[in-house]
């Protein structure tokens, strides 16, 4: 593989914005991939997606404190900056924005984004304040990095829906793209939090993708009732996980629950295995064939 040069690390909003504007004046398109670091192939797939339609890509690494609840894993969230930079270099990403907490939340800051209705259920109920923190930080990143395109992952399905709606509602002039969920070979959706899992917990975590696959197969075989599918999923998850936060079968746009599988239905799962909270999802279609 050709040796890529080290991405340029930028720490301040002022220099980041100036650099993006300079690139755009040269006629270059800029892509933005927001992350919290501890990068894996899922994140890198978003970088590659941005590269398809952009000349330069900015990846941001910021573990955003405002999207973590008081009982959540902010302080132990994995921070692996050196390795992240190496992976971004190999992926050919040109810029990494690594702001300090004060750069993002200057002293005296008090404005927040009230998330859209699609944030209300599921993650919104289990993690009060989470989407307020996500919307606020992402809108800040949009303002600090006025890119042409921003890319997010389907792995965080509700987050992607919330951010697309926020971008529409608040006239963000940036194209929002959603990249597919990247999985380990055994089906586990890649996540920075997977590294918390012991080998035994990791084995049990396969029940998420297995239950989604079983539901997809049942739908392909003609099952349309959400209640039946939710029960099936629950039966697969129950013996393996320590807590089920929710099994949602919902309209993929509004995320409101549905009774029957339609042309645009999503299954969303959130569980706890040991101390680790994991989410996964899949889109369904009654005409889908495996
Ligand atoms: P995070 O660093 O976990 O906040 O994630 C940063 C971005 O990467 C978000 O848009 C996530 O949805 C996306 N992402 C995380 N895991 C995956 C995955 N397995 N496949 C695709 N995108 C992902």
List pLDDT tens digits, range 55-101: 999 999 999 999 999 999 999 999 999 999 999 999 999 999 999 99
Determine the pLDDT at residue 289. Answer: 41
Mean pLDDT computed over 256-271: 97
How many angstroms separate the alpha carbon of residue 59 from the centre of ligand 1? 12
Structure tokens that stand for 205 in this block = 């975590």
Percentage of the residues of the chain whose pLDDT score is greater than 70 = 97
pLDDT digit string (tens) for 36-50?
999 999 999 999 999
Name residues contacting ligand 1 (CB within 6 A).
35-36, 42-43, 45-46, 152-153, 155-156, 179, 181-182, 189-192
Domain span(s) for CATH 3.30.1300.10 in the chain: 192-281
Chain center to CA of 161: 10
The residue written with tokens 């984004």 in the block is 113
Arch. (CATH architecture) of 192-281: 2-Layer Sandwich (3.30)
How many angstroms separate the alpha carbon of residue 281 from the centre of ligand 1? 13
The residue written with tokens 């501890």 in the block is 38
Of ligand 1's listed atoms, the one at least distance from the Cα of 152 is: 10
Half-sphere exposure of 106 (CA within 13 A, CB side): 4
Q: What is the pTM of this model?
A: 0.97
pLDDT digit string (tens) for 144-175?
999 999 999 999 999 999 999 999 999 999 99
Domain span(s) for CATH 3.40.50.620 in the chain: 8-179
Output Rg (C-alpha) for the chain, integer angstroms. 19
Determine the pLDDT at residue 4. Answer: 75
**pLDDT range class, residue 286, cuts 50, 70, 90:** low
How many angstroms separate the alpha carbon of residue 45 from the centre of ligand 1? 9
Determine the pLDDT at residue 290. Answer: 38
How many angstroms separate the alpha carbon of residue 191 from the centre of ligand 1? 7
Tell me how far apart the alpha carbons of residues 288 and 159 are, in angstroms, rounded to a whole number: 25
For the cut 50, the answer to whether the pLDDT of residue 26 exceeds it is yes
Average pLDDT, the chain: 96
Mutate to test the pocket of ligand 1, among 60, 61, 153 (most ligand atoms within 8 A of CB): 153
Options 3.30.499.10, 3.40.1190.20, 3.40.50.620, 2.40.110.10; which CATH number does 8-179 get?
3.40.50.620
């Amino acid at each position: 593989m050709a040796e890529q040069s080290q991405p340029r690390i930028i720490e301040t909003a002022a220099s980041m914005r100036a650099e993006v504007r300079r690139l755009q004046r040269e006629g270059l398109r800029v892509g933005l991939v927001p992350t919290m670091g501890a990068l894996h192939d899922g994140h890198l797939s978003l970088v590659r997606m941005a590269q398809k339609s952009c000349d330069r890509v900015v990846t941001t690494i910021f573990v955003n404190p405002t999207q973590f609840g008081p009982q959540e894993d902010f302080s132990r969230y994995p921070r692996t900056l050196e390795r992240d930079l190496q992976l971004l270099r190999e992926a050919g990403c040109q810029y990494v924005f690594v702001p300090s907490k004060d750069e993002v939340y200057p002293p005296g800051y008090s404005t927040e984004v009230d998330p859209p209705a699609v944030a209300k259920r599921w993650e919104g109920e289990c993690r009060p304040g989470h989407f307020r923190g996500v919307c606020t930080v992402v809108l800040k990143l949009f303002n600090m990095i006025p890119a042409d395109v921003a890319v997010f992952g389907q792995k965080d399905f509700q987050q992607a829906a919330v951010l697309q709606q926020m971008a529409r509602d608040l006239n963000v002039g940036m194209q929002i793209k959603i990249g597919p969920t990247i999985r380990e070979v055994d089906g586990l959706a890649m996540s920075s939090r997977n590294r918390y899992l012991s080998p035994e917990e990791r084995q049990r975590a396969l029940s998420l993708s297995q239950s989604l696959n079983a539901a997809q197969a049942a739908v392909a075989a003609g099952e349309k009732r959400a209640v039946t599918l939710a029960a099936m999923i629950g039966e697969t998850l129950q013996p393996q996980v320590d807590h089920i936060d929710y099994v949602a079968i919902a309209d993929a746009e509004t995320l409101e629950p549905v009774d029957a599988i339609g042309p645009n239905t999503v299954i969303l799962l959130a569980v706890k295995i040991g101390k680790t909270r994991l989410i996964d999802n899949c889109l369904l279609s009654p005409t889908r064939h495996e």
